[in-house]
Structure 1
Amino acid sequence: MKKHHLTFAALLAVASVGTSCTRTTESKETTIVQSAQDLSQIFESYYEERLQLFPLEATAIADNRYNDQLPNDITQEHKQTQKAFYQKYLDQINQVDREMLEGQEQISYDIFKYEMQMSLEGLEQPTELMPVNQFWSLPITMAQLGSGAGNQPFKTPEDYTNFLGRIQAFQVWGDTAVANMKRGMAVGVVLPRALTLKVLPQLQSMVVKDPTKSIFWEPVKNMPEGFTSSQRDSISQAYTKAITQQVVPTYQKLYEFMQQEYLPQSRSTSGISGVPGGEDNYRYMVRYWTTTALTPDQIFETGQSEVARIRSEMEKVKEQVGFKGDLQAFFKYVNEDPKFTPFKTSEEILAAFTAIHNLMQPQLNELFGLQPKSAFEVRQTEAFRAASASAEYNPPAPDGSRPGIFYVPILDATKYNAVGMESLFLHEAIPGHHYQISLQQEQEGLPRFRQYAWYGAFGEGWALYSESLGKELGLYTNPYQYFGRLSEEMHRAIRLVVDVGMHAKGWTREQAIQYSLENELTSEEAATAEIERYMALPGQALSYKIGEMKIKELRHKAEQELGTKFSISAFHDEILRGGVMPLAVLENHMNEWIEQQK
């Protein structure tokens, strides 16, 4: 892997200045090399140590060294360990002279320092007091891993033994989670009642009398053919015991506690400001998820103006197709008219997505110089999780053992609405998540902490920006597909209003659901699930639109300042080349790039 190519190019430039300043050049050269080597060593040590501290991250990138480990990360001890870890590396990065670095190294320095500071600040938040929610939490992650359809490998007998280690650790985590929630109840840091009610059936579904009916039995059912009969027997016995004595009792304990003790004390408020310290927590979450210094009030106002702008665009499409009636009636029409559900089989739906890809292929080469080497596939979401899944992208394994996969949940092909398929493909697949994540992993010379990093404001912002490229890519020729694009953008703009509304302005869950129903193409059931997601993850939903608007703003600036020198493919390549980063770092970098292009 090439490292520090930019630094050494800079050194060559310094060396060619001439002999009259040889001594100065030598000392500067030494300092730069020293800083670059120090930096490289810091990043490498950090990432190695990080994978030990967060072994699920290692499993996710197909690094199998810690597949048996599951630290109890909601204990005070683990928080202290994390604090010491981030502080150590913040101290180390502060020893490096940023001025002595070049190009991508300065960007790495800026991202790393930002990450250490934000992580330390995050540890001040009492997140461990609400360790369970219906959207992201370990009881859900364990079921995904244990199903055999997630990141946890089940290819060798050792893989099966490894996961038993995680099951054992999960039992300990469950005990801590109950103790933490009791502490939360004592100080009023509890989930909203609506979310507790959503968690209960998730936990209950894992409580089974027959171990072979458990989702954790799936890998046993699907053992590789090469296993010997004695290996099969011992794995079956071990998993029967683990499910019966560890998995089921852990979910049972969580369920009974949350139903009997936690539900009666769950809060009636919807937003995080309803718990002690909640306002400060939300301000931190807004900065964490948007990677900006924007205030909740600024985001709320931006959201309202974006909703108004997109509504007027929707009105234009309604008029274009000659629909008589208001926007609400048009939403209903697009949702319910049979002409928008033309499919008979799942295969037809998957083929329609492939056709979208083929249609835009020639234009992709105009808009992008950099294109991923990683393989890409469109697949139907597995039946066991399709009911609760949305369309999603699963990144490729860095070693090429797994392609990038665009998963499409199809419960009933005859009810699958074709409106918005083009924008969905642009966002989740190409050139959205597949281009951005694959190129990030494939870039030589990027430190590993950047190759596998994730900043939602950049990553989701890029995917939403990708939807805006539809016309340039030869799509959106059908007004209903363009309306689908506007609906997706509206969905992200509404989030700015309802997230801040609930968490900072005292809005109720019902107010937020109503606002969604008035402004977008959705059902009450879907709107409710979305609003409850924002309740569970304060600030997360802000990242998409804030990131998209920043990328559009940078493109507009580059077009204005560069005029005839502006190249769209060069702009896109530069955005993608360095992977995800905080938006302030991106803006700084792209401003320098614009100056260089001049």
Structure 2
Amino acid sequence: MTQPTFSLTRRDALKGIGGASLIALLPACRMAPASELAPDAMLDQIAYNLLGHEPERATGLGVDTGDFAALRAKLSDKTPDGLARYAAALETDLEAVRAYPREGMTADQLTGFDVVESAYSTAVEGFALPYGDVAVGSWRNAPYVVIQNVGAYIDMPRFMDSTQPVRDASDVEAYVARIEAFPAQLDGELVRMQQARAMGLVPPDFLLDKAIAQMEQSVASAEATYRTPLERSEIEAAKAAAERTGAIVRDSVVPALERQLAELKSLRGEAKGDAGMWAQPRGDEWYAWAIKASTTTSMSPDEIHEQGLAELEELHGRMDPILKEIGYTTGTVGERMQALSEDPRYKFAEGDPGRKQIFDFIDERLAWIKAQMPRAFNTLVDPNMEVRRIPVIEEAGAPGAYGGSGSKDGTIPGRFWINLRSTDLHRKYDLADLTYHEAIPGHVWEGEYSNRLPLIRSILAFGAFSEGWALYGEQLADELGAYDDFKVGRLGYLQSLAFRACRLVVDTGLHHKRWTREEARRFFVERNGSKEEEVASEVDRYCSWPGQACSYKIGHSEIVRQRSRAQQELGAAYDLKAFDDAVILGGNSPLDVLAKNVDRYIAGTKT
């Protein structure tokens, strides 16, 4: 494949591309002009315009049905031209939202329009940058199109195994169609890798080493990976389709993966060990946008860095007396937490016996927290969810866990994914807190509320809210008594918050203050007592997702600040359950929109 030059920014490219949405290409989906639509219909049109460019999300939400069933067989266009069309469509819809009259809207409709305007304006700014992936209403902004935790080679296996439905013959045909489209998607990424390289963008050597190893594993396991979901299906058509799929993978998918692998290996020959965006072309500009996108604030890297240091000091001040009480009296908080992590009483067994212990522990904690939710919310949900191991192919580059909501139609459950490459990643004093963060009252719980909102609100998510809420969920669990009889567990919770404060320091340290990878790792281990194996993967993740790690604590601190404001302004009229409802029913939103929702809660309580 030839290596094209990259002389234009994506914004330049937009000038020659119309703003027509891909959704207009689908049959039976002609939309009315925005001026003729009611607010809710306008928001729905915007949602389906977006899903036309990201059809995988339509499947994840369970809305690739009826007039939009064709989306189930399509994949996102990851070529430069495809992204330019996507950006142009976003810009068109952004202009329509800004021009739409707001008079007479309900509070929920106003929030919806505010959310779209915020998400789209930030995304359009990101698409104007010369390289990288832009997460529209999501969290995975990345300068490197393919790396150890970014790229279709990672996303596609999990998606086809756990999200793509195989319930009837039409599903089977859609499955095969997506596999047929996969090589073109991989080659679209390859072109962008080559374009970015022509600009001088070369990922750090240590990230490339991980990505190369994972890509080699992807190539070796590709046929089994994509045949397996069909082979385990009870549908007769799926059995025959497995043979066709195997041939497509051998003849087209594997060669496309090998082309990406060759590019990664070629990049490795040019790579250096500099970890941060400061070392990349226009890296300071890219990072400034990334932290704006991740935090939904205008905070500078220096402001975030200083907030992280201050919050870390405050949290360690809360941990110190507990450590002394349980007999850890000498050394820094970090040193004492390191010693605590070696206590065999809090370790899980090795191997599969320990993995079973971990699943049993999670199940017990989920049962407890579910019973507490009526004490924290007036409006309750009953999440359809499951706990699953992160696929082995992803474990090396994945965090300790992650979680999220299921589909809007309820057919795909919310999931708490746990990394079990080693049981030593987890301790009995920190796994409960992780469960509350990823599942209930955290990500899975929050997603159930978002799925009840108009479609566009289920699509657009903001890390500062979703991660801030998940940390607030950890706080709620503590306030509801999770650690009243297990003080070491409270240490795990406080260390979790301190870990997120460290993230503010480390992310800005890497990308703005020119820290090395080793300096970043040492900060976690020495200052916070974090486990070395855990932070090694963490730090590498910050290098490939700049700014994302800042969203957690910035969002949590803002939710807590809004709660304190409500308590002060309402006095005796303040009610925890009413506040929690106001925040979560308002839906996932930028932090300034969250503040408006709290304003309305306060005003409504006063009347």
Partner Cα distance (1:295, 1:428) in 2: 28
Match of 1:341 in 2: 347
Match of 1:22 in 2: none
Normalised TM-score (structure 2):
0.85
1:296 matches 2:301: yes
Cα offset, 1:432, TM superposition: 1.2
**Looking at CA atoms only, which structure, 1 or 2, has the larger radius of gyration?**
1
Cα offset, 1:254, TM superposition: 1.3
1:184 matches 2:196: yes
Match of 2:181 in 1: 169
Match of 1:30 in 2: none
Retained in 2: the 8 A contact 1:36–1:101?
Answer: no
1:371 matches 2:380: yes
Cα offset, 1:369, TM superposition: 0.6
Retained in 2: the 8 A contact 1:167–1:246?
Answer: no
AA matched with 1:207: V
Partner Cα distance (2:531, 2:478) in 1: 28
Cα offset, 1:331, TM superposition: 2.4
Structure 1 segment 304-315 matched on structure 2, within 5 A? 304-315=309-320
1:283 matches 2:288: yes
Structure 1 residues 531 and 79 mapped into 2: Cα distance closer, same or farther (>3 Å)?
same
Cα offset, 1:380, TM superposition: 5.2
1:398 matches 2:408: yes
Retained in 2: the 8 A contact 1:35–1:97?
Answer: no
Partner Cα distance (2:421, 2:198) in 1: 43
Partner Cα distance (2:434, 2:186) in 1: 37
Q: Specify which of 527, 538, 549 is matched with residue 530 of structure 1.
A: 538
Cα offset, 1:511, TM superposition: 1.2
Partner Cα distance (2:303, 2:79) in 1: 33
Partner Cα distance (2:457, 2:524) in 1: 36
Partner Cα distance (2:216, 2:102) in 1: 53
1:485 matches 2:493: yes
Of 537-546 and 116-125, deviating more is 116-125
Cα offset, 1:239, TM superposition: 1.9
Structure 1 residues 571 and 512 mapped into 2: Cα distance closer, same or farther (>3 Å)?
same
Q: Specify which of 249, 254, 270 is matched with residue 243 of structure 1.
A: 249
Cα offset, 1:399, TM superposition: 2.2
AA matched with 1:460: E
Once the two structures are superposed, what CA deviation does each residue of 1:382-425 show, in whole Å capped at 9, x if it has no partner? 66666665333242232232333334444566985211122112
Match of 1:127 in 2: 131
Structure 1 segment 21-36 matched on structure 2, within 5 A? none
Cα offset, 1:269, TM superposition: 1.9
1:516 matches 2:530: no
Of 481-490 and 128-137, deviating more is 128-137
Q: Specify which of 318, 323, 326 is matched with residue 318 of structure 1.
A: 323
Q: Specify which of 114, 118, 126 is matched with residue 114 of structure 1.
A: 118
Retained in 2: the 8 A contact 1:498–1:512?
Answer: yes
Structure 1 residues 404 and 182 mapped into 2: Cα distance closer, same or farther (>3 Å)?
closer
Of 63-72 and 240-249, deviating more is 63-72
Structure 1 residues 456 and 36 mapped into 2: Cα distance closer, same or farther (>3 Å)?
farther
Structure 1 residues 221 and 385 mapped into 2: Cα distance closer, same or farther (>3 Å)?
farther
Of 460-469 and 238-247, deviating more is 238-247
Retained in 2: the 8 A contact 1:371–1:439?
Answer: no
SS at match of 1:205: helix
Match of 2:599 in 1: 591
AA matched with 1:144: R
Partner Cα distance (1:282, 1:544) in 2: 17
Cα offset, 1:53, TM superposition: 1.3
AA matched with 1:519: R
Structure 1 residues 186 and 96 mapped into 2: Cα distance closer, same or farther (>3 Å)?
closer
1:97 matches 2:101: yes
Cα offset, 1:340, TM superposition: 0.9
- Aligned Cα RMSD in Å? 2.5
1:573 matches 2:581: yes
Match of 2:264 in 1: 258
Q: Which runs of 5+ in 1 are unaligned?
A: 1-33
Structure 1 residues 71 and 346 mapped into 2: Cα distance closer, same or farther (>3 Å)?
closer
Structure 1 residues 414 and 502 mapped into 2: Cα distance closer, same or farther (>3 Å)?
closer
Of 384-393 and 321-330, deviating more is 384-393
Once the two structures are superposed, what CA deviation does each residue of 1:32-89 show, in whole Å capped at 9, x if it has no partner? xx999532232121112221111111111123421221233231x2233123212221
Match of 2:153 in 1: 139
AA matched with 2:42: I
Partner Cα distance (2:292, 2:97) in 1: 22
SS at match of 1:392: strand
Partner Cα distance (2:91, 2:417) in 1: 39
SS at match of 2:536: helix
Partner Cα distance (2:418, 2:282) in 1: 40
Partner Cα distance (1:366, 1:351) in 2: 25
Once the two structures are superposed, what CA deviation does each residue of 1:265-322 show, in whole Å capped at 9, x if it has no partner? 2243211121121111111111111011111111011011111112222222211112
Structure 1 segment 467-506 matched on structure 2, within 5 A? 467-477=474-484, 478-506=486-514
Retained in 1: the 8 A contact 2:226–2:246?
Answer: no
Cα offset, 1:360, TM superposition: 4.2
Q: Specify which of 422, 427, 432 is matched with residue 422 of structure 1.
A: 432
AA matched with 1:239: T
Partner Cα distance (2:423, 2:276) in 1: 37
Once the two structures are superposed, what CA deviation does each residue of 1:230-258 show, in whole Å capped at 9, x if it has no partner? x62x3233122112111211121211221
AA matched with 1:396: G
Match of 1:227 in 2: 236
Structure 1 residues 172 and 399 mapped into 2: Cα distance closer, same or farther (>3 Å)?
closer
Of 485-494 and 363-372, deviating more is 363-372
Match of 1:353 in 2: 362
AA matched with 1:102: T
1:74 matches 2:57: no
Identity of aligned residues (%): 27
Normalised TM-score (structure 1):
0.86
Partner Cα distance (1:480, 1:488) in 2: 13
Match of 2:456 in 1: 449
Retained in 2: the 8 A contact 1:422–1:476?
Answer: no
Partner Cα distance (2:217, 2:455) in 1: 38
Retained in 2: the 8 A contact 1:38–1:96?
Answer: no
Cα offset, 1:184, TM superposition: 2.0
Retained in 1: the 8 A contact 2:147–2:211?
Answer: yes
Retained in 1: the 8 A contact 2:436–2:470?
Answer: yes
Retained in 2: the 8 A contact 1:359–1:474?
Answer: no
Structure 1 residues 56 and 414 mapped into 2: Cα distance closer, same or farther (>3 Å)?
closer
Aligned residues: 552
Partner Cα distance (2:583, 2:230) in 1: 44
Q: Which runs of 5+ in 2 are unaligned?
A: 1-33, 133-142
Match of 2:465 in 1: 458
Match of 1:272 in 2: 277
